[in-house]
Amino acid sequence: MAINKLTVSKKSAHEINPDMIGLFFEDINFAADGGLYAEMLENRSFEAVKTKGTGRNYILKEDNLYAWSSVEGKEDALEINSNQPVSEKNPHYLRFTAFEDGEGFANKAYDGVCLKKDAKYKVSFYAKEVEYSTGDIEIKVTKDGTCYADATVKFEAITPEPDGYKQMVGDCEAKEWKKYETEIVANDNVKGAAFEIHLTKAGSVEFDIVSMIPADAVAGVFRKDLFKALADLNPGFLRFPGGCIVEGTSIMRRYRWKDTVGAIEDRKINTNLWAAVGGNTSHAWEMPDSHYMQSYGIGFYEYFLLCELLSSKRTCKAVPVLNIGVACQFRSYETVAIDDPAFDEYVQDAIDLIEFANGPVDSKWGALRAKMGHPESFKLEMIAIGNEQWESRHVNVADRYRIFEKAIHEKYPEIKCLGTAGPFVNHELHSGAWKVYHDECAVNPNYSYAVDEHYYVAPQWLYDNVAFYDNYPRDVYVFAGEYAAHDANLSNSVEAGVAEAAMMTGMERNGDVVKLASYAPLFNRIGHSHWTPDMIWFDEDSVTLTPSYYTQKLFSDYAGTEALELNDQEKVLRNSQIYVSAVKMGDSRVIKLVNGKDEDQNLLLVDEEGNDIVGEAQVVTMKAASGKAIVPEASDAIAEDNNHAVSTEIMSNAELCAKRAPEAASYTEEKVKLAGEIVLPAKSVIAVVIK
């Protein structure tokens, strides 16, 4: 084995952002509904819509009873009503009629209800009597005739006055919606069960906003194990809510943050852009997840709250992304012209969002934040103007950004505005966007704090472009807002995680210009993939952490405040496929090393006097759990035309997920005694912490 050498300096090259490594959240792959949002029932408010479409051609059709059915198979027992809803913003609700005592209706939930023995679950619903004066309501979770949890809720019937005259003139007690709450406890483990509501007597009752959430959900909102996976990353920021989600398939279906705050019942439910064809996993006019919706159970308030909850070791800063009057350019040509009075709403949304996050409790939006339970400011510092729009004959991105920036900074000069360089790098759209930001910032340095650029690329591209940021101008900072290595099989391979780490050494070495970086996408519910690879895979009761997850964790946990001088040693080491960065972290130095080879390599660590570095150190290693990384090969999980869109006729989503399942990785932290030389395992990422 060839011996390579690295002189570890104590001299600072420049300051870097210790909170560079963060998270990008988008509701794709059931990341929110069916994922981080702990709600276990699908279509709880009877507002489901079926989405069909390809490219720029979409059909939306109401399908309000989706996920609901009669337990006894009497489908005429279920009817959708919209006469007097709990909230006019979500006008549909269920009228259920039990023709005989004990009949009920069921929700299929996400892949079926999953209960864990002795665990508690909070159940709530709104109900209103139609004709039901003597019975109660039973809650059950069942599978194959076995009941795994149940509770009886006393129904408060309202009996009208018997006097016919009083009824005629309306002088009787009205039948109103009432919210019911109970708790059920699982008597055993079960998967694939159904949630059921039964009337103990024959009769008719109307229901809306039927909910079941584990009692251990963090803040009553976030699924506990998925939250822990995020918390263990100690992120420096959270970019939300997307992504293409921000834009929508049309202007009408765009993400409006104001629809996502306030009482749950008043949050206007929206379709999900990823219910239709898109991403790189399947291709059909009607997708298996065609009913994928956004309930907004995780709305902007919850995103801000999530940032606070993730701030145990470092402050996780909120980075909200706002629509700029443009539907998703991959799916639509629809825009709102900047001279249209309707465009003012988009700009005002940005101003109002800052007030919602930071404003005093006597302001309109600050008062709403306080009413929701958070009178203190969320201390918002940054806001992203647009997602990944690009200049075209349909979209004037630069003009839109200027209007937003001017309006925001006139009222809130302290807010850092983030721009976008579009969805591609090494492209004329990318360089053209950057020229605008450089030109504008030369006149107004406050014009843009950082520019968001995205790249989903082959691992080799990342190895080849480790020096990508070496020659970037330093007048405007970089936000690497979405990036990932896409191997030949679009899987979360060790190869991908190692290539990402190599690129991240370049980001860290150039931490004076790269201020924020986040892998994308974040979550993938197995069997409901719309895009792979993803950082965290999960199903109804388990979580799989990928090699890319461990790469992100290593760089986050061992971030520094200053980059140390390397004096071009990194260029020499690249000849051996070793990629390096060095930072100061407190009183320690952290050397991050990436071995891109399929064989072990030795590296001699010496001080500035040429002496071997010896003594105690901490070594953190990510590598293949098997000891040898898999060489990714294209499988039948990629279509022949290489567009990554696999027809459901070729394989199901579950089969596709099995083809692209994450490679098992080993992540270890250990104390060692350095004796000058260190071994870099094949295809590995290492952090060496030296006092």
Catalytic residues: 388
Cα 251 from Cα 254, distance rounded (Å) = 5
Burial class (CB in 10 A: 0-12, 13-18, 19+), 349: middle
As a whole number of angstroms, the distance between CA 450 and CA 321 comes to 13
One-letter amino acid at 143 equals K
Residue 427: partners with Cβ closer than 8 Å, 6 or more residues away: none
Helix (H, G, I), strand (E, B) or coil at 665: strand
Question: Which of 651, 606, 660 is closest to 633 using CA atoms?
Answer: 660
Closest to 279 in 3D by CA, of 270, 269, 289, 271: 289
Can you read off the two tokens belonging to residue 500? 């990402």
Q: Calculate Rg over the CA atoms of the chain.
A: 27
Q: What gap in Å lies between CA 306 and CA 218, rounded to an integer?
A: 9
Structure tokens at 238: 């959270």
| SS3 assignment, position 547 | helix
**Cis previous bond, 521, omega within 30:** yes
Nearest alpha carbon to residue 59 among 276, 268, 222, 265: 276
Q: Tell me the C-alpha distance between 93 and 79, whole Å.
A: 8
Full strand arrangement of the beta sheet holding 12-15: 3-7, 601-606, 677-680, 665-675, 614-624, 684-690, 588-595, 578-585, 562-564, 12-15
Structure tokens at 87: 């909230």
Residue 668 has, within 13 A of its CA and on its CB side, a CA count of 12
**Phi-psi category of residue 533: left, alpha or beta, with phi > 0 → left and psi -120 to 50 → alpha:** beta
Spell out the long-range contacts of 525-528 with Cβ–Cβ below 8 A and sequence spacing 24 or more: 525/29, 525/30, 525/31, 525/34, 525/35, 525/110, 526/654, 526/657, 527/111, 527/652, 527/653, 527/654, 527/657, 528/29, 528/30, 528/34, 528/288, 528/289, 528/292, 528/653
